[in-house]
């Protein structure tokens, strides 16, 4: 295989053990600012995936809820393979990421609606699943003790 300039294409997805939390990339922009991109893998690659309405609702809620716990989140984005998300941050080291992640997921469990799930604030306001997001958040949280074990 040819070497790729995309970091995640260099990861052998057959060797990881989901769920996990992994630093996908660090990019230092200046003396003070480092972009840290986290790979938050919910599902075992090529074996399982989340449905799009579930992914979409987790995206909306984590983009919203994690910012209640940190001001270092730039973006929270679904992976196209539907097995997890990227949290793109600046200067957010792992302890802070784990704290905001856990708190945000717990907030999903108690949410009664998906924020901004409407046609004005979203590109497909009907494509959401609060129940799916809660089920996925619960499953991910249940394996919290294994998050830092990335490789099988």
Show the site string, 77-116: x = touches Zn ion by CB under 5 A, - = not. Answer: ----------------------------------------
Which residue's beta carbon is nearest to the bound Zn ion?
122
52 binds Zn ion (CB under 5 A): no
| Minimum distance, C-beta of residue 114 to Zn ion, in the bound complex (Å) | 9
- How many residues line the site for Zn ion (CB under 5 A)? 1
Burial 59-77 (b: 16+ CB within 10 A, else e): bbbbbbbbeebbebbeebe
Choice from 64, 122, 135, 143 touching Zn ion (CB under 5 A): 122
Could you tell me which stretch among 27-35, 64-72, 98-106, 117-125 binds Zn ion (CB under 5 A)? Answer: 117-125
Could you tell me which stretch among 3-11, 27-35, 98-106, 120-128 binds Zn ion (CB under 5 A)? Answer: 120-128
Instruction: Name the residue among 4, 106, 127 with its Cα closest to residue 57.
Output: 127
Q: Which residues bind Zn ion (CB under 5 A)?
A: 122
């Amino acid at each position: 295989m040819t070497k790729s300039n995309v970091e995640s294409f260099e990861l052998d997805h057959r060797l990881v053990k989901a769920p996990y939390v992994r630093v996908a990339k660090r990019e230092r922009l200046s003396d003070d600012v480092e972009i840290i991109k986290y790979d938050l893998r919910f599902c075992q690659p090529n074996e399982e995936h989340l449905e799009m309405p579930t992914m979409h609702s987790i995206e909306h809620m984590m983009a919203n809820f994690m910012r209640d716990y940190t001001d270092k989140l730039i973006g929270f984005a679904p992976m196209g393979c539907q097995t997890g998300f990227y949290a793109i941050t600046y200067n957010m080291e792992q302890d802070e990421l784990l704290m905001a992640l856990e708190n945000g997921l717990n907030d999903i469990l108690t949410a009664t609606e998906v924020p901004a799930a409407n046609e004005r604030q979203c590109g497909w306001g009907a494509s959401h699943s609060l129940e799916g997001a809660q089920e996925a958040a619960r499953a991910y949280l249940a394996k919290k003790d294994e998050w830092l074990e990335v490789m099988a």
